[in-house]
Chains A and B, each alone.
Chain A
């Protein structure tokens, strides 16, 4: 079907073929992308919530359960050796992918939320009432409620840095909030609701300088990891938290990366098996990194699947991947600008591929429902960022979020489906 938007399109369909990244070839690797919803081809634009999985990841999970399912680190048999090798191999893969100093800095968690909780739980034990924790108005609840509760428990103050109406952090105001009492600054690599991409490297440098190195820096990388080339050493932060399932891996597994000297003495999170060195009835000594922060039998299949996802992803021409995503976003942004009755929420100069919007007529829930009937999957609501929605004076947004496998044809499908929303809710 010819696109009515093609004349004004920034995105010439088929461009990707000339680059070292072929979106049509990539799509073949994702079995779910060929299914239908309500008898329409699936147009999956809810990637900021979770990405789909390539066949290699699905195969890795099946291979583990079919061929070497076993507990790690403790069995005296071949299967356990094999499982442990693959499991620890995944740690190496991820350490290398984010340029960690060494593998001991990569802690397996259940996801970004748990990663942040480990840091907040430990920090709460060190905070005093003179201390401040700095967050921003654009936080996901995972990077807000955690610090809010740590401050409540310790008597420290939670300081909220403002954003402007475009959804961009107001840098000079942010920097003015940093002082010698700032114990930790937690900020998102990118906003899940608006897409705004923060200059985390520059901010980290400034946070360290303006706090006389008293402030730790934690980056909530949930929305950043799949849309930028993350090098934790170059960023200079102390902690970087992210989830596997937003990077083409399985759910229920994520990473807390932290500087080794911090993690070495960080208060333990959960206690139990695996994380101990020595136990008596009355006392226990903790294991070394990374195990001291990983209690109990881990999500072995999840780790192996995540390792497979990152191995697969890292082999792509990532610059070309990011350029493709940027192209799809700018095409969608262009179509949105031309669509009467639709307002984009979040127009920061630098964004991850997220297009949040509201319409003159119709609640986001209505938009989501009518799009779903046409096979287009988006997210609607407050996106786990209720204070941000209040700050913007909106009940929520409809959010289309893109991944490397989305095409400009799918953007056309989204806007064709939005015409029906307008027509039905007129």
Chain B
């Protein structure tokens, strides 16, 4: 299933007023996202967090990035879906232009992307941004 757009996600999340509903929505987004096959959970694709690990596989075809991501934590996987909505199937220029901090702020989830969080999300974002920058 294709992920909703970042604007749709912002609108959807505004609709919920309690944290449980918000996180259930995020968890479901993560569940709907295609899984990164287990054989691809390799050291090279691993981004190690203190609390949970994430894996990322990146391909570029005709200037467009295709990402597959995975996490061993359910909520982090949901948060990764939010990141994918922003970055997957986008060009380097689009990735570079997207303000991820502003996006997480609009989602009221900026705590998850702060540098102090040990869930690897920030590291994935940095990795994607670096990949995009190398193509500019």
Cβ contact within 8 Å between B51 and A362: no
Cβ contact within 8 Å between B74 and A396: no
Cβ contact within 8 Å between B19 and A363: no
Q: How many A-B residue pairs have CB under 8 A?
A: 47
Q: Which residues of A contact B75 (CB under 8 A)?
A: 365-366, 369-370
Cβ contact within 8 Å between B50 and A363: no
Q: Which residues of A contact B76 (CB under 8 A)?
A: 363, 365-366
With A424-B23, A425-B27 as known contacts, state yes or no: A381 contacts B50, CB within 8 Å: yes
Cβ contact within 8 Å between B19 and A425: no
Interface of B is mostly: mixed
The residue in chain B whose Cβ has the minimal distance to the Cβ of A396 is B51
Cβ contact within 8 Å between B73 and A366: yes
Cβ contact within 8 Å between B24 and A364: no
A419 to chain B, nearest CB (A): 12
Within 8 A of A (CB), among B35-53: 49-53
Cβ contact within 8 Å between B27 and A365: no
Cβ contact within 8 Å between B19 and A364: no
Within 8 A of B (CB), among A361-396: 361-366, 368-370, 373, 380-381, 395-396
Cα A298 to Cα B34 with chains together (Å): 55
The interface bits of chain B over 87-123 (1 if a CB of A lies within 8 angstroms of the residue's CB, else 0) are 0000000000000000000000000000000110000
The residue in chain B whose Cβ has the minimal distance to the Cβ of A373 is B19
A77 on the interface (CB 8 Å rule)? no
B72 on the interface (CB 8 Å rule)? yes
B62 on the interface (CB 8 Å rule)? no
Cα A391 to Cα B76 with chains together (Å): 25
The interface bits of chain A over 402-426 (1 if a CB of B lies within 8 angstroms of the residue's CB, else 0) are 0000000000000000001000110
Q: Which residues of A contact B72 (CB under 8 A)?
A: 363, 395
A217 to chain B, nearest CB (A): 32
- Count residues on chain B whose CB falls below 8 Å from chain A CBs: 18
A38 on the interface (CB 8 Å rule)? yes
A286 to chain B, nearest CB (A): 39
Q: Which residues of B contact A368 (CB under 8 A)?
A: 51
The residue in chain A whose Cβ has the minimal distance to the Cβ of B23 is A424
Enumerate 6 A-B pairs (CB-CB under 8 Å) in ascending A order: A363-B72, A364-B73, A365-B51, A380-B51, A424-B24, A425-B74
Which one of B24, B50, B74, B118 lies within 8 Å of A366 (CB-CB)? B74
The residue in chain A whose Cβ has the minimal distance to the Cβ of B78 is A366
Cα A373 to Cα B75 with chains together (Å): 13
Within 8 A of B (CB), among A290-329: none
Q: Which residues of A contact B23 (CB under 8 A)?
A: 370, 373, 424
Cβ contact within 8 Å between B73 and A363: yes
The residue in chain A whose Cβ has the minimal distance to the Cβ of B18 is A373
Cβ contact within 8 Å between B118 and A381: yes
The residue in chain B whose Cβ has the minimal distance to the Cβ of A381 is B51
Cα A364 to Cα B75 with chains together (Å): 11
Which one of B27, B51, B52, B118 lies within 8 Å of A424 (CB-CB)? B27
Q: Which residues of B contact A369 (CB under 8 A)?
A: 75
For the complex of A and B, list the 3 residue pairs with the smallest distance between their C-beta atoms, beginning with the closest.
A363-B73, A365-B52, A365-B73
Q: Which residues of A contact B51 (CB under 8 A)?
A: 364-365, 368, 380-381, 396
Q: Which residues of B contact A370 (CB under 8 A)?
A: 23, 75
The residue in chain A whose Cβ has the minimal distance to the Cβ of B119 is A365
**Chain A CB within 10 Å — which of B19, B23, B73 has the most?**
B73
Cβ contact within 8 Å between B52 and A363: yes
Which one of B19, B71, B119 lies within 8 Å of A38 (CB-CB)? B19
The residue in chain B whose Cβ has the minimal distance to the Cβ of A362 is B74
B106 to chain A, nearest CB (A): 20
B80 to chain A, nearest CB (A): 13
Q: Which residues of A contact B53 (CB under 8 A)?
A: 395
